[in-house]
Amino acid sequence: QTSRDLAAQGAQTLAVPTDVSQAGEVETLARKAFETYSAVHLLCNNAGVGGGKTAWESTLADWEWVLGVNLWGVIHGIHFFVPRMLEQRSEGHIVNTASMAGLTYGPGQSIYKVSKYGVVSLSETLYYELALRGASLKVSVLCPGFVNTHVLDSQRNRPVRLQNAPDGKESPPQAEAVLQRIQQALREGMPPQQVADIVFAAIREERFYILTHPTWKGAIQIRMEDILQERNPTLPRTPRL
């Protein structure tokens, strides 16, 4: 639909349905992109899915599903696009989507947080590696708070091989309450267009950390202070939208 909308406005588009957890599909995406446009100057590794169970209740299929998209999707994007972007010897920018969940901590969403911490660390490392090489490619990591998206509906795209067999168990009341709070926060979250505007401004400014929700900075500071003071993790309250 997005491709059709852009084409209606006169833009040249290329839509390639891609499971970013699969290396071969991302390789095909990269090949088609370079064949069609000759060069890629802006790479957005943005695909993401949710995962809301505790670390011990999550199945191995849950881990494979969420890490496959959220972390391996970024890895595959870097692996298949960045070498060719470097060969272009022209300016370019890479935006990896993480989350405030990759900069803060708290209970629940264990797999999701592991994946987003991984994206932050990978992006920081990539930033230094490209800078030391003197490359004209810049890097940003996007760490939004709650955005009005359908990320919690991502289970509809979960591969059959990674589906969990029904166990007949009901979710604990606490888990249901957390899920409902997240759903409400997403409904009331920042519009995607506003996030996009912030991202493009950061690209122009060559800003690495893209933090769309300033109210979350207090939670980041608490975590940093816990580390520097070697104290046990403080469980901050979820900031307001």
pLDDT band (50, 70, 90) for residue 197: very high
What phi and psi, each to the nearest 5 degrees, are found at residue 147?
A: -125, 145
Predicted confidence (pLDDT) per residue in 92-111, tens digit:
999 999 999 999 988 778 99
The closest of 32, 3, 28 to 15, measured between CA atoms, is 3
pLDDT band (50, 70, 90) for residue 27: very high
CATH numbers and ranges of domains, the chain: 2-158+171-228 (3.40.50.720)
What predicted TM-score, i.e. pTM, was given to this entire model?
Answer: 0.90
